[in-house]
Amino acid sequence: MFFLDPMYFVFALPALILAFYAQWRVKSAYNKWLRVRNTRGLTGMQAAKMLLNYNNLGHISIEGTPGALTDHYDPRTQTMRLSPDVANSNSVAAVAVVAHEIGHAVQDAEAYVPMKVRSAIVPGVQIGSWLGPILFFIGFLMAGYFRSAIGYQIAWLGVLFFSGALVFAFATLPVEFNASARARAMLTDAGLIYQDEMNGVRSVLDAAALTYVAAAAQALSTLLYYVFLLGGFRRRN
């Protein structure tokens, strides 16, 4: 019933458009610069090893991971996982992605506070992101159709649980922005990227950052819609 409510689109559509645009920008920038060879001819795997040593992080292991744009750093096992396109490519895009993930490894090594905060709230967010909407819909239906006061309270409890997803989305922003800033600096300082290639690095990293902004916008729009529905219900009653 909620997706048939015109007001749902008022809240959700701008964030949805931003999400589609962000995904298009990521794929466009990544595919463009994946075809551009970096001057030093380094593959993503070679760049990863060099940058890890440059940052005194030679103890971190590097593994492959299936898929495209699935590259990530796992702080639990201190492992860098690279997709085939990144690990085997000597492109500007590959070294940009690698440097960003090593930026996360440096954050982990330095106990970067925003990263620690984000990691700390992950368990609660994992529960709240799926339990929150369930509680909200159950509570809203109970309050709307059965005039149950406790249903209204359950719906607000769902909003509270789901708000964790919004907190996580906004906590992610400084972590990702900082990792990209570290990536640009280390690529230049370590001499892996020359100045005329930095436009490609920025293009790839800025596009990726926009996806996190879009995720935060989607979480915010959903939460505002829930609050709008409950506010309208309260006025009617």
Active site residues: 101
Q: Give the integer Cα–Cα distance in Å for 149 and 85.
A: 55
Tokens of 189: 């300082």
Closest CA to 162 of 117, 118, 122, 131: 131
Closest CA to 228 of 164, 159, 167: 159
Q: Give the integer Cα–Cα distance in Å for 102 and 138.
A: 43
Please, which residues have CB within 8 angstroms of residue 108's CB and are 6 or more apart in sequence? 73, 75, 78, 115
Longest Cα pair distance anywhere in the chain, in angstroms?
69
Q: Give the integer Cα–Cα distance in Å for 165 and 124.
A: 9
